[in-house]
Amino acid sequence: MYALKRISATGIYPENHAQKGKLKKISNEISKKNNYKNIYPLLDQALTIKGGKHSSLETPKEVKKDISQYKEPTVRVKNNILYVHLPEFVGSTSQAKKYANTVYHKIIKQKYTGIIIDLSNNRGGDIGPMLAGISPIIPNGKLFELVNAANKSTNVTFQGSVTNNMGTKIDLGKVKKVTKLPIAVILNRWTASSGELTVLALKDNPSVKTFGGNSAGYTSINNTYTMYNGTQLNITTDKIRKNNGQVLFNSKIKPDFMTKEPIVKAKEWIVNHN
């Protein structure tokens, strides 16, 4: 019942008369159940009503599986172009720091002709380690705003390597920003959620151009509510307002250059940029 109240209070969608009736019915059904397994489908229904397609329920087993499937970033250099693939991140605090450091120290190691940040197939998760890893190429300041169901806004800011008001804070100390370096960002139809928000953060850098296909369209914010048994409810609570005033709500991000060969085109753009 606590979980249902949290969904009802914070979900991004206002409910109409019929949906209020459905939520009341869900509440009555939950009160009759005596184990978690039997209430999961009911909470899923409530999440759909109040949070839409981006909301989700994960059982303790699923949460544990996500953490065990931690993926490290891929980093390599060829022809003095740094290539970085940032996968989705779900993991422990130590894994978050490892994820960020793997990328960060490679970016600052030497001067490159350009950098490719590949966010293809990045389905999201915790944005903190992602932005910390590429912090040298993300300008300090306001990234965007979160706008909740009551139209109250919260600024998401970036300083050094720390994201404020969203994601895990990863402090890598004094970060030297890399400027005036061509940076190509790759996205595709599986770039989703925090993967998409990482694209938005990178677009604050005037040296960034995006390549590939339209993103998945999960540009909204989930807040996680953990139940007593470890079940996690990811409740969609906020829309995104860009610094230019444009509001995104599960909108797809379109690349600057639509292409089926994003890495090839990204390399060509970097070479021609210099």
Domains of the chain: 2-57 (no CATH), 65-230+237-273 (3.90.226.10)
pLDDT, one tens digit for every residue, the chain (274 residues): 999 999 999 999 998 999 999 999 999 999 999 999 999 999 999 999 999 999 999 999 998 888 788 899 999 999 999 999 999 999 889 999 999 999 999 999 999 999 999 999 999 999 999 999 999 999 999 999 999 999 999 999 999 999 999 999 999 999 989 988 999 999 999 999 999 999 999 999 999 999 999 999 999 999 999 999 999 999 999 999 999 999 999 999 999 999 999 999 999 999 998 6
Cα–Cα distance between 29 and 125 in angstroms, integer? Answer: 31
User: Under a CB-based contact definition with an 8 Å cutoff, are residues 163 and 132 in contact?
Assistant: yes
Q: Residue 175: CB partners within 8 Å, gap ≥ 6?
A: 104, 135, 136, 160, 161
User: Under a CB-based contact definition with an 8 Å cutoff, are residues 204 and 143 in contact?
Assistant: yes
